[in-house]
Structure 1
Amino acid sequence: MARKTAQKTAQKTARQTNPPSRSNKWFPIALVVIVAVGGYWLFVGGGQGGSGPPATHPDLLEVLAEAEADPSVGVAIGPESAPITIEEFYDPSCPHCATFAGFAGKLLRQNYVETANAPVRWVSYDYMVGFPNSVAASLAARCAGEQGLYWPVHDLILARQTRWYQLADPGGAIAEIASQAGVDADTWNACMRERRPLEDIAKSHQVGVSRGVNSTPTLFVDGVRVDLAGVEPYSHIEGLIQARLDALSSGGDASESGQGAP
């Protein structure tokens, strides 16, 4: 009996000395939340290489502050006489933009922009959503545009996004892409050093701001914003194009093609 009493006393003393922590049960959950949040910010920010390479240009914010929206800086492909205009606001480092460009955007351009008597003119606008390497990539495409090679570099930049968009210094990878697209290296490098298209990129971004763009990719069909949430992009946009063509052929307008107001 004395031994049992001693054991009970020892157990009670141990419980008083080391009481169970009620908060410990939340520790695994808190750890998961911390890791998840940290992973998200690593993906959208830290994983991009901190402040980014010099090509992101430290004065970009100042240029943006002074720039005014100018739709003429959009880069177009397709006939000027096309009855329909699709405007795309994109960020070259945006994974969703790469996915869209690799399938839906590619097929739409093949079928409706790059054909004989194409009914669609496609206009590309830069819209920076915060990835440090985005400006370097946009500069690369626009510098190639000075040689008539904007679209080949634009497409390769997006198709090979994973090769450069998380690098601390993407300059070499981006230069390789431009070279593969056929740019004259000396001319292209001079443009990149001087950041000649930087003002156009800023004006392009401001066009998006003026149109209420807040994510990428964002598309407008004849000025009407396209809602891509929960839809298959190619079939949805193809349907809008066909409806718009039907409305135009019957003398209607965008509202008659099933699209709402912007």
Structure 2
Amino acid sequence: MFHCGTVPPWRRYSRLTMVGRQKTLMIRALLVAAAWFVIMPGRPGSRQAPDPLAARTKGRPDAPVTVYEMSDFQCPYCREFALGTMPLLEREYVQTGKVRFVYINLPLSSVHKNAATAAEVGLCAARQERFWPMHDLLFRRQDQWAALASPRAYLLALGDSAGLDRARLASCVASGATAADVRADAERARRSGATSTPTFYIEGALLEGAAPVTVFRAVLDSIYRTKTATPPPRPR
């Protein structure tokens, strides 16, 4: 059963002790690297194809820490994270080159009937390099489109405010050009172990729910220190 997180679920799982801190955080460690290998970009300078997720990524490609956010545009707790917590993390971690954020669609269509349509519109916006403006508007206007019997016209109009070419957006949405990408996102998220939104895959572990910014800071600071620590000198 998939659900939109309503409680602080990071308290329910096995402990991951944060390096250099007295407190511990409750997150579920998973060996799911294989599930994510197919979407993770190559190292800088590699000859692999360009990162297909680049248009919905924030941060430097070589940032030491990568966070995959698995989210549903119709989920109120995803909105809480996107509009409240994410701007703080962007300023403190993304803009400073420490963290790269990648958005992965996990529309919970069984409870959010318009989530998949919104996800398709978001990926159509990504094809015009306007994913993040559309992302923000989808969450800000969530109450307006979430209850509509047919949200497509409203979402297309929302694209105007995001700076999108209306004709290109309408053509992309009408053709279903991004529907397969949304389904592929959701399948990746499920293989990672995500059962609710928002869920964050962070360097081999899952953090579930719209956790307070203090939780994200503790997790990201610990992982960043570990990944950037100078290795001890080899014994002579």
Please state if 1:135 is matched with 2:116.
Answer: yes
Higher relative contact order (CA 8 A, sep 6+): 2
CA displacement, residues 116-157 of structure 1 (integer Å, 9 cap, x when unaligned): x51111011001212110111111111111110011101110
Q: Distance in 1 between matches of 2:191 and 2:213?
A: 26
Gaps of 5+ in 1: 1-67, 253-262
Q: Secondary structure at the match of 1:71?
A: coil
SS of the counterpart of 2:196? coil
Give the equivalent residue in structure 1 for 2:70: 89
1:226 partner SS:
strand
Q: Is the 8 A contact 2:72 2:108 kept in 1?
A: yes
- Aligned residue number for residue 108 of structure 1: 89
What is the CA-CA distance between 1:250 and the residue it aligns to? 2.3
Instruction: Give a deviation string over 1:27-62, Cα, whole Å, max 9, x none.
Output: xxxxxxxxxxxxxxxxxxxxxxxxxxxxxxxxxxxx
Q: Counterpart amino acid of 2:123?
A: R
Aligned pair count reads: 181
TM-score by length of 1: 0.65
Task: Select the residue among 97, 117, 122 that pairs with 2:101.
Answer: 122
- Paired letter, 2:59: G
2:216 counterpart residue number = 237
Name which of 186, 203, 217 aligns with 1:222. 203
* Further displaced range: 240-249 or 182-191: 240-249
Q: How far is the alpha carbon of 1:251 from its aligned partner? A: 4.8
Higher helix share: 1
RMSD value over aligned CA atoms?
1.9
Counterparts in 2 of 1:228 and 1:142: CA distance versus 1, 3 Å:
closer
* Superposition map of 1:76-225 within 5 A: 76-113=57-94, 115=95, 117-130=96-109, 131-225=112-206
C-alpha distance in structure 2 between counterparts of 1:160 and 1:107, whole Å = 20
Structure 1 CA distance, aligned partners of 2:222 and 2:181?
A: 33
Structure 2 distance, partners of 1:95, 1:228, is 11
| 8 Å contact kept, 2:121–2:155 | yes
- How much has 1:106 moved relative to structure 2? 2.2
Pair 1:71-2:39 in alignment: yes
